[in-house]
Amino acid sequence: MRLEVSGIFKTYDGKVPALIDVSFSLEENGIFSLIGENGAGKTTLVRILSTQLLPTSGTATIDGVDVVSLPKKIRERIAAVPQEARAVPWMTPIQTITSYLMYRGYNHAEAMEMATDTIRKLGMEAFEHQKNRKLSGGQKRKVLVATVLASEADIIFLDEPSTGLDYISRKDLWNLFSSIKDRKSIILTTHYLEEAEALASRIGILNKGYLVGFGTMEDLRNLSKYPYSIRVSSPDFELEGDSWKVVHLAEGGTQIFTYEDQVYNLVSILISRGLRFTVQEISLNTIFENIIYGGTRDDKTSQ
């Protein structure tokens, strides 16, 4: 899939803009994840790209097809679960998925087979024949996610698919994403930054309507002043210097953030002092905090 987003602005009812000059392009299958605080503009962007909402200005194309002027053509290729979607209460999960697939043009036998397969992969057998209205919040969410994942749409939009899911269900979902990501494009919003880091080949960071970061984990790491982190078990480690930042962690131990070319120096010092440590590239959580807070929150940065 080739996705080109160019100068998108969106203002609801003339209020504060929800998206401000958002531009990026992607040219590959796989998972693209949008992250950002509540109200950052993630849902607004997903709704525009999946033809549910018109931008105030700007353009977006999927494989060269404009999402504003040719929405029908886009809709043939996409499947989407909106953030606030609800499964029809008086249908069962298997009926929900099967009827959606039949609506998309599969015959009953094909639809049943695809639905059953997805239900198995997402570990939903225990409640596949119960009415949706009797399911828990997380189970209902799973029904919707399973519905679009079962479809053979090659572009899938999922707005917070894992919110409200328990740990095992989230793992099942991640495995399913991983198994289909070579064949499909998945555009996913999430508040679980570990999820974006583990699954997405590209990540976009929205902050108050601006796209403030975009690219691979490596691209995003390079936006941070200190892309490396050394965790020292000693709680009272101190080291003067301009090429790193030393943070004492509330949970115990010390974290040193630094540049790649200083890692060797620091490691040598730590070894000579007989201290135990681990060296890592910074996580998406740290990158996100650095970007959102401008890398200035000296006392709050964590791995």
Q: Which residues bind ligand ATP (CB under 6 A)?
A: 12-13, 18, 36, 38-44, 83
Residue 12 binding partner per list ligand ATP, Mg ion, none, with a CB distance cut-off of 5 to 8 Å that depends on partner kind: ligand ATP
Bridge pairing between strands 210-215 and 2-11: unpaired
71 — phi, psi (to 5°)? Answer: -60, -35
Find the shortest distance in angstroms from Cβ 160 to Mg ion.
6
Find the shortest distance in angstroms from Cβ 191 to ligand ATP.
6
Amino acid sitting at position 130: Q
Token pair 């989230």 is found at: 170
User: 83 or 207, CB closer to Mg ion?
Assistant: 83
Residue 41 binding partner per list Mg ion, ligand ATP, none, with a CB distance cut-off of 5 to 8 Å that depends on partner kind: ligand ATP
Token pair 């409200």 is found at: 164
Applying CB under 5 A, among 11, 23, 56, 83 the residue interacting with Mg ion is 83
- # chain residues binding Mg ion, by CB under 5 A: 3
Alpha helix ranges (H) inside 159-283:
167-180, 193-199, 217-221, 263-272
Site for Mg ion in 9-68 (CB under 5 A): 42-43
Beta carbons of 155 and 185 less than 8 angstroms apart: yes
Residue 40 binding partner per list Mg ion, ligand ATP, none, with a CB distance cut-off of 5 to 8 Å that depends on partner kind: ligand ATP
Residue among 141, 144, 1, 147 nearest 77 (CA): 1
User: 13 or 236, CB closer to ligand ATP?
Assistant: 13
